[in-house]
């Protein structure tokens, strides 16, 4: 009896291990493709492979990808996240070399379908296209900024703007580090820069999402 159950477990595990071995590579390829797609979406046209690196801002490590065209740096695709309504919202934010946000895309989110989950739709997300943080204010209109919040989803909209803001802080840290080193090898090594005000602000989550 026990032997039989043991046999069932053994066969099942063997089968699982086999399928795991077979699908391991496609899963990695799918994940890589997803990252590459996200990068291609948020930065202007580039050639060659994006160079992966991390930078530390205010004690937290942020992964980013540097892209260049014909040897000249085009910009960075920066991964940043903030606390939304249903959990973390992770974005890929593309910032060009003139410190203008080229585009943003959502890597993962767990917002309410029909409400906060609309942050992936162009109606909201396109507001961040070609956004110049020097010209416009990166917060929702309710807080005196220039971003139209999603209907009934202020927390999500705030979180999105916050993540983009964090990405700008990360960009500043990257370019500061790059100006200290030779421009050619700016993409190596982890650099520590302290930037204020990029932790998530938890004080006013009082209204509906």
User: Please, which residue, 29 or 184, has the CB nearer to other proteins?
Assistant: 29
Q: How far is the C-alpha of 169 from the C-alpha of 173, rounded, in Å?
A: 6
Closer to other proteins by Cβ: residue 107 or 193 = 107
114/144 with CB nearer other proteins: 114
Q: How far is CA 30 from each of CA 8, 23, 36, 71, 111, rounded to the nearest angstrom?
A: 32, 10, 10, 28, 23
Q: Half-sphere exposure of 110 toward its Cβ, with a 13 Å CA cutoff?
A: 7
Please say whether the beta carbons of 77 and 127 come within 8 A: no
Looking at the Cβ atoms of 13 and 130, the one nearer to other proteins is 13
CB of 17 to other proteins, least distance (A): 8
**Min CB(148)–other proteins separation in Å:** 14
Binding site residues, other proteins, CB under 8 A: 1-2, 4-5, 8-9, 12-13, 15-16, 19-20, 23, 26-27, 29-31, 34, 60, 81, 83-84, 87-88, 108, 110, 112-115, 151-152, 155, 199-200, 202, 205-209
β-strand pairing of 88-96 with 72-83: antiparallel
Q: What's the min distance (Å) between Cβ of 209 and other proteins?
A: 6
Q: What is the distance between the alpha carbons of residues 95 and 58, in angstroms, rounded to a whole number?
A: 20
For residue 9, the minimal CB distance to other proteins (Å) is 6
Select from 36, 180, 7, 156 the least CA-distant residue to 87: 156
């Amino acid at each position: 009896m026990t032997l039989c159950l043991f046999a069932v477990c053994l066969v099942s595990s063997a089968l699982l291990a086999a399928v795991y071995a077979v699908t391991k590579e496609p899963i990695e390829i799918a994940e890589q493709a997803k990252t590459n797609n996200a990068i291609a979406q948020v930065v202007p046209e580039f050639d060659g492979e994006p160079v992966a690196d991390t930078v530390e801002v205010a004690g937290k490590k942020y992964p980013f990808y540097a892209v260049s065209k014909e040897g000249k740096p085009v910009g960075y695709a920066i991964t940043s996240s903030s606390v939304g309504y249903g959990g973390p919202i992770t974005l890929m934010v593309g910032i060009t070399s003139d410190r203008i946000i080229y585009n943003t895309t959502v890597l993962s989110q767990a917002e309410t379908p029909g409400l906060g989950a609309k942050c992936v739709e162009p109606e909201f997300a396109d507001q961040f296209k070609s956004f110049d943080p020097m010209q416009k204010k990166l917060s929702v209109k309710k807080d005196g900024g220039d971003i139209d919040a999603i209907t009934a989803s202020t927390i999500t909209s705030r979180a999105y703007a916050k993540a983009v803001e964090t990405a700008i802080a990360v960009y500043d840290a990257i370019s500061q580090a790059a100006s200290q080193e030779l421009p050619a090898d700016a993409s190596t090594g982890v650099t520590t820069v302290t930037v204020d005000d990029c932790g998530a602000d938890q004080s006013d989550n009082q209204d509906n999402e």
